[in-house]
Structure 1
Amino acid sequence: MSHASNAYRWESRAELATALPEEAAIYYEWLLGLPAGSRPGEALRRIGVAGVRAPEGGASGWIPVFYVDDLDAAVGRLAPGSWRTALSDEPGSVYVVDDQGSTVRLRTRKVGEAPGPANSLLNFDCSALDVPAAVRFYSGLLGLQVAEVAEDAYDMRFLLDSGDIVAGVFQLSGIERFEGRSIWITYFEVASVEESVTRAVQSGSRVRIPPVDSPVNRYAVLDDPWGNLYGFSHVFAVRGAQVTGGSFVPVGMDT
Structure 2
Amino acid sequence: MSSTDRPHLPAWFDISTPDAPRARRFYQELFDWSVNSLDATYALVADGDGRPSGGIGQAGPDSPYTGLVAYFPVDDVDTALARAEQLGATRVLAPIDTPVSRIAVFTDPDGNHVGLVSR
Q: Is the 8 A contact 1:4 1:190 kept in 2?
A: no
Which residue pairs with 1:219 in the alignment?
Answer: 103
For 1:146 and 1:175, locate their aligned partners in 2 and report how far apart those are by CA, in whole Å. Answer: 22
Q: Percent identity?
A: 31
Q: Is the 8 A contact 2:105 2:113 kept in 1?
A: yes
Q: Is the 8 A contact 2:19 2:59 kept in 1?
A: no
For 1:130 and 1:175, locate their aligned partners in 2 and report how far apart those are by CA, in whole Å. Answer: 13
Which of 112, 127, 147 aligns to 2:16? It is 127
Which residue pairs with 1:163 in the alignment?
Answer: 50
Normalized per residue, which structure has more strand? 2
Task: Measure how far apart 1:166 and its partner are.
Answer: 2.8
Q: Is the 8 A contact 2:11 2:53 kept in 1?
A: no
| Secondary structure at 1:196 match in 2 | helix
After TM superposition, which residue ranges in structure 1, 4 or more long, deviate above 4 angstroms? none
For 2:16 and 2:93, locate their aligned partners in 1 and report how far apart those are by CA, in whole Å. Answer: 13
Give the number of the structure with larger relative contact order, counting CA–CA contacts within 8 Å between residues 6 or more apart. 2
Which residue pairs with 1:143 in the alignment?
Answer: 32
For 2:31 and 2:37, locate their aligned partners in 1 and report how far apart those are by CA, in whole Å. Answer: 17
For 1:147 and 1:125, locate their aligned partners in 2 and report how far apart those are by CA, in whole Å. Answer: 14
For 1:135 and 1:127, locate their aligned partners in 2 and report how far apart those are by CA, in whole Å. Answer: 11
For 1:216 and 1:139, locate their aligned partners in 2 and report how far apart those are by CA, in whole Å. Answer: 24
Runs (5+) with no aligned partner, structure 2:
none
Larger Rg: 1
| Secondary structure at 2:37 match in 1 | strand
Task: Measure how far apart 1:215 and its partner are.
Answer: 3.1
Q: Is the 8 A contact 1:159 1:165 kept in 2?
A: yes
For 1:185 and 1:196, locate their aligned partners in 2 and report how far apart those are by CA, in whole Å. Answer: 16
Task: Measure how far apart 1:222 and its partner are.
Answer: 0.5
Task: Measure how far apart 1:142 and its partner are.
Answer: 1.5
Task: Measure how far apart 1:122 and its partner are.
Answer: 3.1
| Secondary structure at 2:23 match in 1 | helix
Runs (5+) with no aligned partner, structure 1:
6-45, 49-120, 236-255
Task: Measure how far apart 1:214 and its partner are.
Answer: 2.4
Aligned residues: 116
For 2:80 and 2:28, locate their aligned partners in 1 and report how far apart those are by CA, in whole Å. Answer: 32
Task: Measure how far apart 1:165 and its partner are.
Answer: 1.4
Q: RMSD between aligned alpha carbons?
A: 2.1
